Structure 1
């Protein structure tokens, strides 16, 4: 009786193992991509970003995956802390077996993960961090960046700012890598175009903890004719409301990074500033085949409109899949070789990841803010091709350290 029971148990175990084997094989055959971002710190951007990369993964897998294998994204929250991001990266690489890292939002976090990628020799596709350092003075062979950099967006905005009659300028920016980098490059580029400009005041509120009243009062006291703003998210909302209340923006030109992005403009509703020169994403008025296809797919999938984060997340994972496909492998050196010079189509059109500095040529929309039907909108906008706002590849390569 015991022998019969043992045989039955052995048979049942064998059947279970047989049935489990295909699932195990399927799981092992997945190409794992590690993804890190500040989901709990800045959900206004990162939640649309997550939806964007989820849509891209679904599309890639529905089309057969890459190299005949499905893509699986393993995602971690860095809580807005560089140390947490590096810990997450190490877990993804060492324990989870990802073939590359993607993501990050804040510039100082992107730099931390980029340094980790260099030390551990793992491919890193930075999605959002904008500091120029990530591809130039702290660039490395293992790091590529999707979004247009501070230099690129500053060049676009400086082109418009130089047309203004204003000579006395003030700046407001968060006091960390992104804000410092954005102000420095904008001042440099605008001063080159307009040597007559005078920089009369600076305010450096801590990111996420702006004292808007004090900032507005200090800027007003300097009596600038124009203001550069680099704040975003809740800090931007506080600055706009306090500035409107105290009349800071009345009869003053304002040039502002990122303010035209729906993540930051939409919450202001009818309090949105008018006439600011901004970079952003007017999803409601872009009429191109690439964007039309993305917009329909995104709205069908999520029953919501996209934000700029949606574009970044979608394009990041599409780029990752294209790089693996071109490499024909998940080997890091082959991924790097494939990524250098690769061309792909995004919702904003065709972009290239340059070999010289690993920066993509993704561009940005530049326009003005307005209130339309009680909602902040971008008007009078044009798309600026990122390639037109970068130094030549040979020149950019000189800005990078020797690998």
Structure 2
């Protein structure tokens, strides 16, 4: 296995974007090269475990003989959380490094930027994490496929639980960029569809990574909602929770929260983790299906640490790419795209399919409530929500997605 991580200085020296379709060439020794772009320095809580999961999967694929005897090789790049850098790096990987395909992405705006590059240059992009629905619907294209359950899917999972609450007055808080805006839009639309009697009395959209948690909490409290839909994550979530607890925002109010059950966001809160929030997440220590137990054991043996949700996403992105390459007739963009459409593979969470109609995978998410156990936050009363059950019907998708 060959893994390269480029620092910030090397990243900024990358070649500029070239819009001509790249000629796909083999790397030395017949390796199949994957160009992986992500916001490692900007979002380390998720992406360091992601990188570990990616590396584990790459080692497993190569130890088993690679792809018809050809090894997989990854060239990693750090976009620093900037879409313009991600596009420049995509050009460098395609034209200077001759990678066969692009992968990765965490922030939704960056995922959309890489997707646009892939479409213009007729190059396969397997998006790992960007959650915006635009990636596969309004701005979907032939060359882009997404692994993670989208904002629509996870919002639908949470609405199923939120609709059972007696609360009628809701407030929302989310980071002010594509992911947060998309999540709030879908949650409001889907909850209103289930419960026409609800109203939304306040919205707060703090800048990503720069939340003024005290002011945000004060504004939400002033609206006097009965329940809150939260979409913040990372350091923003930590600050929001601490200020909310200090100022009593969560007393006598239910909170429904996207991603908060993921250990990368619960662990930093330790015994300050909120209790009884309805969340999507990943109860890694409690999931004992054969597929997950095998992954968890292999991950702990390799890294002497427990997996996070990012670990699963990194691992399964590689496994999906490997499954596609075994199915494809050639390591060439059009052949690989054809192989991705309708592709089925065995993920850590069970069977997953990349739907041909919109290139969205059916990977699901765990839904439950937060509890404190042994001085840290975890999930209880959880269930796995299969992604295929939380996607709109084909006729709706056709209206949402342009012909591509």
1:119 corresponds to which residue?
120
1:255 corresponds to which residue?
256
Q: How many residues align?
A: 379
Do the aligned partners of 1:356 and 1:394 also contact (CA within 8 Å) in 2? no
Distance in 2 of aligned mates of 1:394 and 1:213: 44
RMSD: 1.0
1:76 corresponds to which residue?
77
1:217 corresponds to which residue?
218
Do the aligned partners of 1:67 and 1:328 also contact (CA within 8 Å) in 2? no
TM-aligned CA deviation for residue 99 of structure 1: 0.5
> For residues 97-144 of structure 1, what are the alpha-carbon distances to aligned partners after superposition, in whole Å with 9 as ceiling and x for unaligned?
111000000000000000000000000000000000000000000000
Distance in 2 of aligned mates of 1:375 and 1:241: 15
Partner-residue secondary structure (3-state), 1:199: strand
Do the aligned partners of 2:159 and 2:191 also contact (CA within 8 Å) in 1? yes
Which aligned pairs between 1:110-259 and structure 2 lie closer than 5 A?
Answer: 110-259=111-260
Distance in 2 of aligned mates of 1:140 and 1:36: 19
Do the aligned partners of 2:352 and 2:362 also contact (CA within 8 Å) in 1? yes
Distance in 2 of aligned mates of 1:330 and 1:277: 43
> Unaligned stretches of 5+ in structure 1?
1-24
1:107 corresponds to which residue?
108
> Unaligned stretches of 5+ in structure 2?
1-25
TM-aligned CA deviation for residue 394 of structure 1: 4.3
Which aligned pairs between 1:258-277 and structure 2 lie closer than 5 A?
Answer: 258-277=259-278
Do the aligned partners of 2:133 and 2:151 also contact (CA within 8 Å) in 1? yes
Partner-residue secondary structure (3-state), 2:400: coil
2:359 corresponds to which residue?
358
TM-aligned CA deviation for residue 26 of structure 1: 8.2
Partner-residue secondary structure (3-state), 1:284: coil
TM-aligned CA deviation for residue 401 of structure 1: 1.3
1:15 corresponds to which residue?
none
Distance in 2 of aligned mates of 1:401 and 1:260: 34
Distance in 2 of aligned mates of 1:188 and 1:243: 26
> For residues 172-219 of structure 1, what are the alpha-carbon distances to aligned partners after superposition, in whole Å with 9 as ceiling and x for unaligned?
000000000000000000000000001000101000000000000000
Which aligned pairs between 1:299-310 and structure 2 lie closer than 5 A?
Answer: 299-310=300-311
Do the aligned partners of 2:173 and 2:231 also contact (CA within 8 Å) in 1? yes
Partner-residue secondary structure (3-state), 1:258: strand
Distance in 1 of aligned mates of 2:245 and 2:371: 14
TM-aligned CA deviation for residue 72 of structure 1: 0.1
Moved more, 26-35 or 275-284: 26-35
Alignment TM-score, normalising by the size of structure 1: 0.93
Which aligned pairs between 1:7-46 and structure 2 lie closer than 5 A?
Answer: 27-46=28-47
2:68 corresponds to which residue?
67
Task: Give the ranges of 4+ consecutive aligned residues of structure 1 lying more than 2 Å apart after TM superposition.
Answer: 25-28, 392-395
Partner-residue secondary structure (3-state), 1:90: helix
Distance in 2 of aligned mates of 1:332 and 1:36: 18
1:8 corresponds to which residue?
none
> For residues 32-88 of structure 1, what are the alpha-carbon distances to aligned partners after superposition, in whole Å with 9 as ceiling and x for unaligned?
001000000010000000001101100000000013200000000000000000011
Moved more, 340-349 or 386-395: 386-395
1:20 corresponds to which residue?
none
2:20 corresponds to which residue?
none
Alignment TM-score, normalising by the size of structure 2: 0.93
Moved more, 386-395 or 169-178: 386-395
Larger radius of gyration: 1
TM-aligned CA deviation for residue 287 of structure 1: 1.1
Do the aligned partners of 2:39 and 2:47 also contact (CA within 8 Å) in 1? yes
1:348 corresponds to which residue?
349
Moved more, 381-390 or 26-35: 26-35
Partner-residue secondary structure (3-state), 1:398: helix
TM-aligned CA deviation for residue 395 of structure 1: 3.1
> For residues 316-368 of structure 1, what are the alpha-carbon distances to aligned partners after superposition, in whole Å with 9 as ceiling and x for unaligned?
01101111110031111111111111110011000000000000000000000
